Amino acid sequence: MNVSLRVLASSVVILSLSACASTQRTVSTYSPAYPETRLVQDVDYIQNYERAAQRRAFVHVHWVNPPTRRVTAEN
């Protein structure tokens, strides 16, 4: 029984080490299919919403999560 447990434990360790050694490093060779983007506040939407709120007598709008839009990153 002891021998079979040792063989099982050693085979699990050997197999797990060989699996780690065979993985490729894709981070350095990654080339995105889409251009890089970043999130910016959607100022046009915010201004339109706040203007409509003022017309309806809601004086102040407090944005907890302001609306954002995705734009391409410029270097």
- Between 52 and 3, whose confidence is greater? 52
pLDDT at 8 over 70: yes
* Interval 38-55: pLDDT, tens: 899 999 999 999 898 888
Average pLDDT over residues 11-17: 78
Q: What is the mean pLDDT of residues 26-45?
A: 78
Percent of the chain with pLDDT over 90: 23
pLDDT at 60: 80
Q: What whole-number distance in Å separates Cα of residue 22 and Cα of residue 37?
A: 32
How many helices and strands in the chain, by DSSP H and E?
2, 2
pLDDT of res. 45: 94
